[in-house]
Structure 1
Amino acid sequence: MWSKLETRLKQRRAQDMMRHRLTLESGQDTEISIAGEHFINFSSNDYLGLASHPKLSEATQKAVQRYGSGSGASHLVVGHSEEHHRLEEELAEFLGVERALLFSSGFMANYGVLSSLFDRKDLLVQDKLNHASLIDGGRACEAKMLRYAHNDMDSLERQLKHKVETKMIVTDGVFSMDGDVAPIPEILALSSTYKAQLMVDDAHGFGVLGASGKGTLEHFGLEQKHADIYMATLGKSVGGYGAFVAGKAVLIESLVQFARSYIYTTAIPPAVAAANRAGLALIQSEPERRQQLKDNIAYFKQLADEKGLPLLPSDTAIQPVLLGTNERAVAVSNSLREKGLLVVAIRPPTVPENSARLRITLTSNHRKTHIEQLVEAISTI
């Protein structure tokens, strides 16, 4: 066993594909400290700058004083606190759905949904670039899983022609590595034609897209009910941690009864749920954060276009600079770090071969000077 693992690690090192952790000495923000060095951070999913917001800290502290540091058990034993319950109710009310259910992470939410609700008579049709949690959840269930070319409606239609009892189209709302948005209206048209249902993973759309931050469906002027299963995370735009699934009461009750990743997991601490509630409230009360993020995205794209940077087509906070080889992506990322700019290189297997990139993420807290410094540094490197 150990020799096989050593061989695999050597192969990964040789291909410039080794992953490494960074240890932060500061809170999550646009400016961070690592190993005593200061960096402007362009790698965080804290899109609205709420992870370091004082209201989330205050909510956390109050909840710790009341509930302590841990939840102590799973939701179905004695781990489900009032903070958890209110958060679920507030999420459902915000989205205009019957119920919402908390999970400990987005991976566990997607895995729980796909591994528990479908059987061998069913068909899952997934976008080829869906998040790993969706793909792994699909592989773990009994249903047949097919994949269609990324955002390719002709490819999707071919897969939907299979005759089965239940068909579920599964897609990211905003794709985490490319930053582009799924064509939800076109997908819904096909789902109607072929009597399929729709699941949307809106981890990178919830809180930032749409007039009120309800995500990808609102971005297209659609009601939440158009997604039969809606999942989003709380550790990105909300500034906290965890995830939720939202939809009809029958969906949520089925997950409570059958989703093993929900049933057999300790609930997130009540203090974390309290922080999530504070973040959700700020999303609703401070729409100027979304507007500032939009302005920052537009400014970055303008400067990048002027410098001729090889951007992928994206209008979201995720702005990938395509560099091709692993070696080039790592070299540019390291050069940026020397200039005090943190932009992590993304390489296979996270992205397809020969599509290594800088995954730049913008937040509402970035200033114009930050963006100008980044674009100038990339263009000179």
Structure 2
Amino acid sequence: MAFGWIDEQARARRRAGLVRVLRPRPAQSPLLDLASNDYLGLARHPEVAEGAARAARTWGGGATGSRLVTGTTELHTALERELADFCGFEAALVLSSGYAANLAAVTSLAPYGSLVVSDAQNHASLIDGCRLARGTTQVVAHAEPDAVRKALATHDGPAIAVSDTVFSVDGDAAPLTALAEACRERRAGLVVDDAHGLGVLGPGGRGAPHAAGLAGRDDVVATVTLSKSLGAQGGAVLGPARVIDHLVNTARTFVFDTGLAPAAAGAALAALTLLRREPERAARARAVAADLHTRLTAAGLWAVRPDAAVVSVRADSPEEAVRWAAACRTAGLSVGCFRPPSVPDGVSRLRLTGRADLSGSDIERAVRVIGETRP
């Protein structure tokens, strides 16, 4: 039977407690949301929604083609200028998703004969970029600049180190300054995924590279997503103009993909405008995450101290994590449930996000529900 092997894989997932299902949500969910990556609470903000609607009314529902053919609008160009200026880089290139941005950056900057040094806990999109790149990939210990330095020392050709700035599972931050020093010693480039840093870290949410003093350097490239703090959709690569020009000509996820929908570009541009006006949202997201951590640990739960807006709470098994998340949902709280293979260390956990629009009573309620529903 064609695809008969799928049935055995499905049985294996059920035995391991790793079955995943889609749960459509209504437009107005009654659940308190600590599962989404809407760190600044902008996804439903009236100005962001109007930015999307206005762009759709002006440009239509889709970009109509690859950005090199018909898919680049004045809106895309304005968004790129705003992103580069806000984050402190020379230029930017907008793509259809953060995933596509990571594939573009890694594959285009790792040609034949190059070395890619990748952190062991990098996001799947960076890992897939390494797999698709024509260079050789060496995976090194998590958040260990000396391991990066040693790996780079084994190679004489072009090289890049690749890392998340804030790791998506536990929310810990990469040692960016030390990583940049290790790369500069070997004349290697540094490519960082700031998906969970943009809007949360740095002055006014300008991101982890800006906070570390790395934005605008000629050997640093950053990727971002527009779907988390900015409440929209899409991704971008930020870096020196010559790097961005190189991606325009070589990045397959840019050249052969339909451009980002105008509505998403309009929403992201409106969110950036709002964030410039209300920079305190970034500090508030960090404060909420810190408060969640303090209260959860005080309640006797094993929670990871957040470096940005992600807080994870360890579970004893995949099955426990699933039951725990389901019990939270029944009690009116939506939390993330991370299990293998989504977690690089194989440890299941609940994943919470500290959103800037959560109130003190929201935080208190969330901690109470998590504590009361633990299996």
Q: Which residue of 2 aligns with 1:293?
A: 285
- Paired letter, 1:249: A
- Paired letter, 2:17: D
Distance 1:48 1:372 in 2: 19
Equivalent positions of 1:212-361 (< 5 A) are 212-225=204-217, 228-352=220-344, 354-361=346-353
Q: Which residue of 2 aligns with 1:362?
A: 354
Q: Which residue of 2 aligns with 1:114?
A: 106
| Structure 2 residue matching 1:75: 3-state secondary structure | coil
| C-alpha RMSD of matched pairs (Å) | 1.5
- Paired letter, 1:10: R
Q: Which residue of 1 aligns with 2:201?
A: 209
| Structure 2 residue matching 1:79: 3-state secondary structure | coil
Q: Which residue of 1 aligns with 2:11?
A: 10
Structure 1, 106-115 or 237-246: larger mean CA deviation: 106-115
Structure-2 change in CA distance of 1:219 and 1:324 (3 Å): farther
Distance 1:338 1:95 in 2: 40
Kindly state the Cα deviation for residue 19 of structure 1 after the two structures are TM-superposed. Answer: 1.3
Structure-2 change in CA distance of 1:78 and 1:119 (3 Å): same
Structure 1, 86-95 or 101-110: larger mean CA deviation: 86-95
Kindly state the Cα deviation for residue 156 of structure 1 after the two structures are TM-superposed. Answer: 2.2
Structure-2 change in CA distance of 1:227 and 1:20 (3 Å): farther
Distance 1:272 1:378 in 2: 34
Kindly state the Cα deviation for residue 144 of structure 1 after the two structures are TM-superposed. Answer: 0.5
Distance 2:9 2:74 in 1: 46
Distance 2:26 2:276 in 1: 31
Distance 2:17 2:345 in 1: 12
> Structure 2 residue aligned with 1:150, among 117, 139, 142?
142
- Paired letter, 1:329: A
Distance 1:331 1:358 in 2: 11
Q: Which residue of 2 aligns with 1:373?
A: 365
Distance 1:221 1:195 in 2: 18
Contact 2:338 2:349 in 1 (8 A): yes
Contact 2:201 2:208 in 1 (8 A): yes
| Structure 1 residue matching 2:203: 3-state secondary structure | coil
Contact 2:88 2:216 in 1 (8 A): yes
Structure 1, 291-300 or 258-267: larger mean CA deviation: 291-300
| Structure 2 residue matching 1:168: 3-state secondary structure | strand
Cα distance per residue 1:197-253 (max 9 Å; x no partner): 100100000111011211112333444427621100101001111000011111111
Distance 1:227 1:283 in 2: 27
Q: Does 1:85 align with 2:86?
A: no
Structure 1, 298-307 or 198-207: larger mean CA deviation: 298-307
Q: Does 1:176 align with 2:168?
A: yes
- Paired letter, 1:267: G
Identity of aligned residues (%): 36
Contact 2:199 2:205 in 1 (8 A): yes
Cα distance per residue 1:167-200 (max 9 Å; x no partner): 1010000001110000011112211222221001
- Paired letter, 1:319: V
Kindly state the Cα deviation for residue 354 of structure 1 after the two structures are TM-superposed. Answer: 4.4
Distance 2:294 2:304 in 1: 14
Q: Which residue of 2 aligns with 1:137?
A: 129
- Paired letter, 1:90: E
Structure-2 change in CA distance of 1:222 and 1:341 (3 Å): same
Q: Which residue of 2 aligns with 1:24?
A: 25
Structure 1 unaligned blocks of 5 or more: 27-31
Count residues with an aligned counterpart.
Answer: 372
> Structure 2 residue aligned with 1:99, among 82, 85, 91?
91
Contact 2:289 2:306 in 1 (8 A): no
Distance 1:188 1:56 in 2: 35
Structure-2 change in CA distance of 1:6 and 1:161 (3 Å): same
Q: Which residue of 2 aligns with 1:43?
A: 35
| Structure 1 residue matching 2:257: 3-state secondary structure | coil
- Paired letter, 2:255: I
Contact 1:325 1:354 in 2 (8 A): no
Distance 1:223 1:104 in 2: 23
Distance 1:197 1:165 in 2: 12
Instruction: Give the structure-1-normalised TM-score.
Output: 0.94
| Structure 1 residue matching 2:36: 3-state secondary structure | coil
Kindly state the Cα deviation for residue 356 of structure 1 after the two structures are TM-superposed. Answer: 0.3
| Structure 1 residue matching 2:166: 3-state secondary structure | coil
| Structure 2 residue matching 1:245: 3-state secondary structure | strand
| Structure 1 residue matching 2:204: 3-state secondary structure | coil
Distance 1:9 1:86 in 2: 46
Distance 1:360 1:202 in 2: 18
Contact 1:121 1:164 in 2 (8 A): no
Structure 1, 364-373 or 166-175: larger mean CA deviation: 364-373
Structure 2 unaligned blocks of 5 or more: none
Contact 2:62 2:261 in 1 (8 A): yes
